[in-house]
Amino acid sequence: SQQGEEDPQALSIQEGENATMNCSYKTSINNLQWYRQNSGRGLVHLILIRSNEREKHSGRLRVTLDTSKKSSSLLITASRAADTASYFCATSRMDSSYKLIFGSGTRLLVRP
């Protein structure tokens, strides 16, 4: 079963605009991660935020985590056409298995 659900399912924006994607999950987590997948390729890790962190930055990426609402958001600032991809959140359970469960993804299209 899938733990996380992303919203929106698809997003189309103009180059230079900001893109915000949301992720909701069901059970307590150890950490939450965001991955990017270009068409026909494997997933690439973007950022990891632990359950005791509220916000994290990496370049043009900003991730927030609200454990009380069981939700996270990924903000991509000043988007570029190369950011066009599917973005997935993944949650790691609070046990020793390091099992990572992925959501259904947001498909982002950045128009040049």
H or E element in which residue 59 lies: none
Residue closer to another protein (CB basis): 44 or 82: 44
Q: Is 105 in the site for another protein (CB under 8 A)?
A: yes
- Kindly tell me which residue out of 41, 52, 59, 112 binds another protein, with binding defined by CB under 8 A: 41
Candidates 65, 83, 103, 110; binder of another protein (CB under 8 A) is 103
d(CA 88, CA 85): 10
- Does residue 48 bind another protein (CB under 8 A)? yes
Spell out the residues 6+ positions from residue 63 whose beta carbon is closer than 8 angstroms to its own.
Answer: 32, 34, 47, 49, 55, 56, 57, 72, 73, 74, 75
| Nearest-approach distance from CB 78 to another protein, in angstroms | 25
Q: For the chain, state the CA radius of gyration.
A: 13
Residues that bind another protein (CB under 8 A): 2, 4, 30-31, 33, 35, 40-45, 48, 88, 90, 92, 97-105
